[in-house]
């Protein structure tokens, strides 16, 4: 079993019912395979936009599965059933607003509707949770922007040491004194 576990949660009513294939959840997994040199294991869940279920799945992946990173897709917009940021806020002890700020800023290069995403990030215990929008193409657009800071964030919350493939994405770790 790998020491590094990464959780992927797709919050989508239609993907969870099988009305469409979950392209975004698969895109997160493919992006992790591209980025990481370290061995890792994916723990994947595809669930409806139900806040209780999103919260319990986040807790399961952080507390029981011990994922150091949980990446969600979907449910970040203004629609009535979009509740992923609320679920994230409810399960996290600390919010990390810089992630959402940067992802929205970068996303504006691609779509004027980037401001409609309330995507955020936070810390639950030794896990970092990051929200991404539902659109498949947003996955790489957002992760390319924030991932350089992810390995050091996981160091700081006493998670495993994550090595990236520097030809694909370069992790930034401030030099130790």
Ligand X SMILES: Nc1nc2c(c(=O)[nH]1)N[C@H]1C(S)=C(S)[C@@H](COP(=O)(O)O)O[C@H]1N2
Ligand Y SMILES: Nc1ncnc2c1ncn2[C@@H]1O[C@H](COP(=O)(O)OP(=O)(O)OP(=O)(O)O)[C@@H](O)[C@H]1O
Three-class DSSP category at 115: helix
∠ Cα 105 13 132 (to 5°): 20
Residue placing its CB nearer to ligand X in the complex, 17 or 137: 137
Residue placing its CB nearer to ligand X in the complex, 25 or 133: 133
Can you point out the beta strands (E) in 12-98? 41-47, 69-73, 94-95
Query: Measuring CA to CA, how many Å separate 86 from each of 9, 78, 177?
Result: 15, 12, 38
User: Could you give the string, one character per residue 64-83, with x where binding to ligand X holds by CB under 6 A and - elsewhere?
Assistant: ----------xxxx----x-
Residues numbered 20 to 79 that lie near ligand Y (CB under 6 A) are 20, 22-25, 49, 73-75, 77
122 binds, among ligand Y, ligand X, none (CB under 5 to 8 A by kind): none
Task: Give the chain's length.
Answer: 177
- Asked whether position 116 contacts ligand X by CB under 6 A, the answer is yes
Minimum distance from CB of 152 to ligand Y (Å)? 29
Residues numbered 90 to 109 that lie near ligand X (CB under 6 A) are 107
């Amino acid at each position: 079993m790998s020491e590094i576990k990464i959780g992927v949660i797709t919050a989508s009513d239609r993907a969870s019912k099988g009305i469409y294939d979950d392209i975004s959840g698969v895109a997160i997994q493919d992006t992790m395979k591209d980025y990481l040199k370290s061995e890792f294991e994916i723990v994947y869940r595809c669930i409806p936009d139900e806040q209780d279920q999103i919260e319990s799945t986040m807790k399961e992946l952080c507390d029981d599965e011990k994922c150091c990173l949980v990446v969600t897709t979907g449910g970040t917009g203004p629609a009535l059933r979009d509740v992923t940021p609320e679920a994230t806020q409810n399960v996290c002890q600390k919010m990390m607003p810089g992630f959402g700020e940067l992802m929205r800023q970068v996303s504006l290069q691609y779509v004027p509707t980037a401001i409609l995403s309330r995507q955020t990030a936070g810390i639950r215990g030794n896990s970092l949770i990051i929200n991404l929008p539902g659109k498949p193409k947003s996955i790489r657009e957002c992760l390319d922007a924030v991932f350089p800071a992810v390995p050091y964030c996981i160091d700081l919350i006493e998670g495993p040491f994550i090595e990236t493939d520097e030809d694909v994405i370069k992790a930034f770790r401030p030099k130790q004194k």
